[in-house]
Structure 1
């Protein structure tokens, strides 16, 4: 029998007590939330779809220079006139109009996402006082861009985050498209922000180094969003999380027996780290990116056993040290 084919009673207990309850009973830190911080969210797609002429678009490009420069990449155009003409044609296209109407219906109220972002930014500033709050724009990209995250701005392509049941869907594999829903927006943004604090050793190109990198990213996201379910951080379903924990000993044995931790072949590394519907080298029912999930467990153990603060964790670029000092051992099935 395939080791990853059944959950079993022990796995179901693990799902209830390890994957669910820690989020259900979570409370955010009131001291952190008391910070004076406000996120400005500009519903830019509304202004762009209300524009009627090239002059209207010219006004918007001048009104939002960061968006024009970073997101629209105005420097690639011969002139602003050519950019405004393109925008005029795109936003007067009937299919784009219908897509925008759907977005406005689904995201009529954006206050919950704004509040979640504000709380996340307060947590980031608590750990990293130099963090500067970026301006947040929403947009309808025509499925050209899901998220742009820089230190200056964040642009959310709302059309990517329509419900999975919606008739408009991005051209993504199903296993990836399922992660593009509203609940994933803020975790995806926070994980992207983590990269600016996630120090690495550029000379270390092992599988272990990549595992630790992603482990630090997910640990950062969980620290900033402590009440967010793990499924929205790593993009596994609750069943996949439970199955992975129930088979952690088997997964770890595969890595050890095949001497994978110090593998440097990028094709081998991709089998365990890259986007895929499953980790075929282990099992066709094992979720993809299992190396990232395993790296998260190692980093969690390192932080717990060494009592390391989030800033110190992110500054540590020594993947080998993190692994050795983690004392990591697979959790036996319940």
Structure 2
């Protein structure tokens, strides 16, 4: 019986890998995508103040109406801003590697979403808004390079759980997160399950669009945090079931289990060992299970109701040895 189970598992794995390789081969054979990258931060900090009007004419969308010119001139001349620009220049003076990665990402996007708009790419130095590191909107993709300088950069004064994602390798996952906002409808019911499935869809999208990235990189965890979730999956799930949290609309639950946080809040001794957002990770496993057990296109899955998706997922957490 054990040999039979192993054989079945291997067969399913081989079929899955073959299907994935066929998709990747098809994507490789599609025409190359060439995206135009505009280095706005270079233009801004290398433009003399007396030529500000020319810069505003070239990039009007970066200069909101009502903001006096003196604000921009002061920023151009501010020593701290200039130093930050120099730090960005040290790391990203040549953006060729990142441009190739973005083009490869959009080849994947175009394969799964043929009508998706190919954007103009703008790199900027913004205000260190970690909630908007990369923004895909309409025909523009804006990337805030000051938030990809490396977790231990001297300019960062953020909690460690945020800084761990200020790495170059997080750029593509952040782009997919922003892209997903236009593809995944918000949960109809504000339950914990709805939140978990929403983020699970987002993470599954990263599975398809970023096939060479690790699970840790896709969700923004350290490798040991992924390991913690894998080792404690059955315990997390049992806690959600026993506490009857799945269909609860308690407004505190997102802060405990799906929002950015230093750790998840079970109100147990394990809290400090856990990573934040374990609900997102569980939602990801549910969506993966659904896609393994149902013949549904990814586009249709993204639109599905959370409750229906969960019920059809046949999700069972991996048992942990006692």
Calculate the TM-score normalised by the size of structure 2.
0.87
Structure 2 equivalent of residue 297 of structure 1 = 285
Matches of 2:250 and 2:127 in 1, distance apart?
A: 37
Q: Matches of 1:223 and 1:177 in 2, distance apart?
A: 26
With 283-292 and 147-156 compared, the bigger mean Cα shift is at 147-156
**Is 1:192 the equivalent of 2:187?**
no
Distance between the aligned counterparts of 1:311 and 1:280, measured in 2? 33
What RMSD, in angstroms, separates the aligned Cα atoms of the two structures? Answer: 2.1
Dislocated runs of 4+, deviation >4 Å: 25-28
Aligned residue in 1 for 2:95: 110
Aligned mates of 1:300, 1:181 — CA distance in 2: 26
2:52 corresponds to 1:57: yes
Structure 1 residues 43 and 28: CA distance shift in structure 2, 3 A: farther
1:29 counterpart SS class: helix
Unaligned runs of 5+ in 2: 1-12
* 1:286 aligns with one of 270, 274, 297: 274
What SS does the aligned partner of 1:100 have? helix
Deviates more, 1:38-47 or 1:212-221: 38-47
- Using a 3 Å threshold, how does the CA distance of structure 1 residues 98 and 27 change in structure 2: closer, same or farther? farther
* Cα distance change, pair 315–280 in 1 and its aligned pair in 2 (3 A): closer
CA distance in 1, matches of 2:110, 2:158: 34
8 Å Cα contact 2:170/2:217 also seen in 1: yes
Query: Could you list the per-position Cα deviations for residues 301-320 of structure 1 after superposition, in whole angstroms to 9, with x for gaps in the alignment?
Result: 0011003221111122x100
CA positional deviation for 1:140: 1.6
Q: How does 1:177-256 map to 2 (within 5 A)?
A: 177-202=163-188, 204-256=189-241
Per-residue deviation at 1:28? Answer: 7.8
What TM-score does the superposition give when structure 1 sets the normalisation length?
0.84
Give the C-alpha shift of residue 247 in structure 1: 1.3
CA change 1:143–1:255 in 2 (3 A) is same
Q: Write the distance in 2 (CA, Å) between the matches of 1:92 and 1:103.
A: 16
Counterpart CA distance in 2 for 1:230 and 1:320 is 25
Q: In structure 1, list runs of 5 or more residues that go unmatched.
A: 1-17
Superposed, 1:1-334 pairs within 5 Å as 29-33=24-28, 34-54=30-50, 56-65=51-60, 67-68=61-62, 72=63, 74-75=64-65, 77=66, 82=68, 84-144=69-129, 146-169=133-156, 171-202=157-188, 204-281=189-266, 283=270, 284-316=272-304, 318-333=305-320
Using the TM superposition, name which of 102-111 and 252-261 deviates more.
Answer: 102-111
Aligned pair count reads 298
Q: For residues 50 and 272 of structure 1, what CA distance do their matches in structure 2 show?
A: 44
Q: Provide, for residues 239-298 of structure 1, a one-character-per-residue CA deviation record: whole Å limited to 9, x for no partner.
A: 111121111111110000000000101113321112211113152211111111100000
